[in-house]
Structure 1
Amino acid sequence: MNTPTFTRRALFLSAALLSTTTFASPLADRLERPSRLTAKAQFAPLIDVQRVGDQLVMVGAEGHILLRKADGQVEQTRVPVDLLLTAVHFVDDRQGWAVGHDGVVLHSDDGGVTWTRQLDGRVINALMLEWAQGEVERLQAAASVDEQALESARFALDDIGAGAEAGPSRPLLDVWFRNAREGWVVGAYGTLLHTADGGSTWAYVAGLDNPDRLHLNSVMGLDNGDLLVAGEGGRLYRQSAGLWQPTQVLTPASLYKLTQLHDGQVLAMGFGGALLRSRDHGQHWQAITLPSATSLYGAEQLADDSLLLSGQAGLLHSRDLQHFRVLQPRNKAVWLGAATLPDGTLALVGSRGLRLLGREEIKEYLQ
């Protein structure tokens, strides 16, 4: 098993950045060492952002979690780990989770002010080994042995065991919670875990048709109760009524992000300008042609229902998902995500940290 040098929506990160955030210190050190407080945190790479009430919560390199308060002040919170954080998700103004490298899951119950560690790669390794060993034993004990399935299970056990020997080296790349109790995290090598008690305990989910354990980059629940997971090789996995449906291959390109629009449409986006939409909760998909093949990492629907896509070469804006305009704020950067504040200010996060665009500046770009 190779150690990955990527994160969901962060494939752009240079080898230099990865060397400092991923390999700079022993694995145990990163999990046990708190993130360093620095006045420059908001200018370091930020990977994800979510509006929570009237403030922003942002996560990024070296365990940085930042809050932008309603008064405009940006504060760095104390975080118990010093490693790359890749995604954040709040279900309300208080309950939220962040995930990152080394299989870490962090939880906040006060709107992002304080964080505790709920899970890490060591526990994930144990959960996966327990599942794989149980699968081998189950198949061996069957009245009629399925030799092919048994061989696959033995291979999975050996592969998971080899990965566990490397330590907690399973990056988590996305997180989504249905409510304050039930949630999912996804990550490298087909990692998918589920909790039904707010993250106190987790279970490894092995129901996906993903024998090659391709990376899972994005997870999202829909308004009809279905769950979608997207990842490497354009794979789309959909759980409906508790059952996993046949795997769909939407595109040869890897998918990095899922989002649902106000009208119920679902978008999947990713490498090389891959953009697809579904009008029936992920059952069928239509490819959307873009003016450039730039990789896409995030989406934000604005107050007028137009869409802003963030990516490798800047921003794409569209009012109808047919015509797109390429935008690039003056300080050029790779933008990984965006969020709109109550006053109409647009917050962008990416390779150069946080960038705020006021309403007048937004109008200038969108004219």
Structure 2
Amino acid sequence: MNSLISPPALGLMFILSIGLAVVAQAAPDRLQRPSPLSASASRAALTAIQTLPDRQVMVGDSGHILLLGADGRVEQARVPVDLLLTAVHFVDGQMGWAVGHDGVILHSADGGNSWKKQFDGNQINVLLNDWAGHEVEHLVQEAAAHPQDQALSLALENARFAVDDAKAASAGGASRPLLDVWFRDASHGWVVGSYGMLLSTADGGHAWQYRSDLDNPDRLHLNTVLGLADGTLLVAGEGGRIYRSVDNGEHWQAPLTLGPASFYKLLALNNGHVLAMGFGGALFASRDAGATWQVLATPVKAALYGGRQLADGSVLLAGQGGVVLYSDDGEHFRLWRSPSRLPLLGIGQISAAQVALIGSAGLKIQSLAQLKEQLQ
């Protein structure tokens, strides 16, 4: 199995906690080299999973994208890149996107059977250079017209820093990890990533725009993005920040800080509630589309990385140390722990009787009845 490739600066990234080796490789090779086909791919690290009507789609290490069918067979899709993939999202049974390291964005139009690269970190570098240059030009003119405006002076200083940062990043190649992706429909989507990265598309990913709308001057990492049915868009990440837009990302409210613990995943429930989970067992619930949040108690302090609401309405959350939290109502949780104690990063529902657990050791099929019997 190829080792994970992870920039050392991304201490927030939950994938660093799965305990695999880190090696240095040339980014262009990873973007141009297809993911290796391997009979052991289901035992390699898997980072995200989505349940489709007839299959589970899983992404992970070395560009692996695996399809678990209703018959239990696991097939490996052909993928054009060989790097860590961190998230996947389908809007229906056919149209889906996956993102990962080196700023890669992949697209599938056939339920995950085949994938094409839409975008990567080299193109993100171009976007950032263009944006930073235009921002400096605009602010220079504004500052000249209002020389006593301290806020403009500070904004100009930050913009000049952004120019230097964009140039330095470009010199380093495609090194901008993307951490999550969410699409409202087959056209409109968002991706988030390291150092405050937020991109949007209105044409299914053919073109992407860099968004500087969030109040995030320290460029804290953005780990997760989620849209709600009413047009609300939520982004969460480092430093316990929650960012909220009520108009599909056109305008953003001042961020809420719910505590010091970074958030790794947002999960929408069928009753309209939203869960935000993260480091140290941090778990919050919102009953008003992200406007306000309440703390939920958890039986462990393990980091929580992903989850799923099952067809019967119950909720499973996955985390560090093989932790799975189970709830009948989405508010009160009991503990089950995988015997391996290895990190779990996501959960998919195979049937009424089985779930798919994915993490640092790959794929595990787990009986729901057995899990419930062993709850603490």
> Which TM-score band (shorter chain)?
over 0.9
What is the aligned counterpart of 1:4 among 6, 9, 30? 9
Q: What SS does structure 1 have at the residue aligned with 2:17? A: coil
Q: Which structure 2 residues correspond to residues 51-130 of structure 1 after superposition, within 5 A?
A: 51-130=51-130
**Secondary structure of the residue that 1:99 maps to in structure 2?**
strand
Write out aligned runs for 1:123-272 (5 A).
Answer: 123-142=123-142, 143-145=145-147, 146-241=152-247, 242-272=250-280
Instruction: Tell me which amino acid in the other structure corresponds to 1:195.
Output: T
Unmatched segments (≥5 aa) in structure 2: 1-6
Structure 2: distance between partners of 1:130 and 1:199: 19
From 311, 314, 325, the counterpart of 1:306: 314
- Structure 1: which amino acid aligns with 2:327? S
Counterpart AA for 1:358: S
CA contact (8 A) 1:5 1:18 kept: no
Partner of 1:36: 36
Q: Return closer, same or farther for 1:332/1:147 CA change in 2, 3 Å cut-off.
A: closer
How many angstroms does 1:6 deviate by?
5.4
Moved more, 336-345 or 151-160: 336-345
Supply the distance in 1 between the matched residues of 2:21 and 2:196 (Cα, whole angstroms). 24
Distance in 2, matches of 1:194 and 1:6, equals: 25
- How many corresponding residue pairs? 361
Root mean square deviation of aligned Cα: 1.6
Quote how far apart the aligned CAs of 1:48 are.
Answer: 0.3
Q: Does 1:297 align with 2:305?
A: yes
Corresponding position: 1:344 with 2:353: yes
Partner of 2:4: none
What SS class does the counterpart of residue 10 from structure 1 fall into?
Answer: helix
Residue 284 (1) aligns with residue 285 (2): no
Distance in 1 between residues matched to 2:369 and 2:216, nearest whole Å: 47
Distance between the aligned counterparts of 2:101 and 2:53, measured in 1?
A: 27
Whole-angstrom CA distance in 2 between matches of 1:344 and 1:92: 23
CA offsets 1:79-125 (integer angstroms, 9 cap, x no match) = 10000000000000100000000000000000000000000000001
User: Could you say what secondary structure the match of 1:107 adopts?
Assistant: strand
Preserved CA contact (<8 Å) 2:296 2:332: no
C-alpha deviation, 1:11, in angstroms: 3.4
Question: 1:17 matched to which residue of 2?
Answer: 21
Determine if contact 2:18/2:343 at 8 Å carries over to the other structure: no
What residue is the counterpart of 1:328 in the other structure?
A: 337
- Contact 2:342 2:359 (8 Å CA) reproduced: yes
Question: How much has 1:302 moved relative to structure 2?
Answer: 2.2
SS in 2 for 1:139: helix
The answer to whether the 8 Å contact 2:311/2:352 transfers is no
